[in-house]
Amino acid sequence: MKKNKISKNWVNKQRRDIYVRQSKVDGYRARSAYKLIEIDEKFKIFKGGLSVIDIGAAPGSWSQYALKASKSGKLISIDIKKMEPIGNSVQIQGDFTEEKTQEEIKKYINDKVDVVMSDMAVDTTGIKNIDSIQTGELCKEAMSFAKDLIKNNGFFISKIFMGGTFNEIVAEGKKYFKEVKVFKPKSSRKDSKESFIICRKVR
């Protein structure tokens, strides 16, 4: 009974959500596209010809926007789930935290890339501090992977949750990058603890 109530509340919330409705109009697979669009509008990240790695890409709305904004650029999308193809992109199905998946990504990179972005998050437990710590670990893993692959003037973008590991992640970002900002898009739900860390200029 409780599960049905939660599910009904979720459906009602989705119906009222302007970003869910807009994503259908614009052809994006999920409302999360608008978070990346807002990040791009604020930090001026995407332009033609960029090479982009999208970690935790499914269902693919970030990849859709990146490919559209980068025009003739190169896109590599990775997720543990199988995704519907997106344009002329490379898609890798695998667990990013496993070394073999990271090695497979590197096979497709001839030179360093312009953007590494991650919208990875763990399946939430409802215990906010645990969710924050576990998603924080994914962010740190993506950052550690990205720092050696990003061009000097490139960007690293990742979801983070406010909580136990927040300060640690920001400090780690400052260790690897000269510019580190934290931003919460308007399209991020008010009751969500998520923000995004945007890092630029590798040290």
CATH number at residue 97: 3.40.50.150
Which domain covers residue 119, as residue numbers?
30-202
Mean pLDDT of 126-152: 86
Q: Which of 113 and 2 is assigned the larger pLDDT?
A: 113
Mean pLDDT of 74-92: 95
C-alpha dist (Å) from residue 157 to 5, 41, 85, 140, 179: 35, 14, 23, 11, 12
Is 159 part of the annotated catalytic residue set?
A: yes
Residue 121, domain member (yes or no): yes
pLDDT band for 64, please (50, 70, 90 cuts): very high
Question: Of the residues 82, 159, 178, 201, which is catalytic?
Answer: 159
Q: What is the pLDDT of residue 31?
A: 93
pLDDT at 11 > cutoff 50: no
pTM above 0.75, yes or no: yes
The three-state secondary structure class of 20 is helix
Residue 90's nearest CA partner among 74, 112, 72, 102 is 74
Residue 41, domain member (yes or no): yes
Tally the domains of the chain: 1
Residue 6, domain member (yes or no): no
Give 35-56 pLDDT, tens digit per residue.
Answer: 999 999 999 999 999 999 999 9
Give 144-193 pLDDT, tens digit per residue.
Answer: 999 999 999 999 999 998 887 899 999 999 999 999 999 999 999 887 88
pLDDT band for 124, please (50, 70, 90 cuts): low
pLDDT at 135 > cutoff 50: yes
Residue 175, domain member (yes or no): yes
Mean pLDDT of 76-90: 94
Residue 172, domain member (yes or no): yes
Q: What is the pLDDT of residue 10?
A: 42
pLDDT at 115 > cutoff 90: yes
Residue 10, domain member (yes or no): no
Residue 20, domain member (yes or no): no
For 35, half-sphere exposure in the C-beta direction (CA atoms, 13 angstrom radius) is 25
Residue 156, domain member (yes or no): yes
pLDDT at 114 > cutoff 80: yes
User: For all residues of the chain together, what is the average pLDDT?
Assistant: 89
Q: Using a pLDDT cut of 70, give the percent of the chain over it.
A: 88
Cβ pair 59, 83 in contact under 8 A: yes
In terms of C-beta density within 10 A (0-12 exposed, 13-18 middle, 19 or more buried), how is residue 79 classed? buried
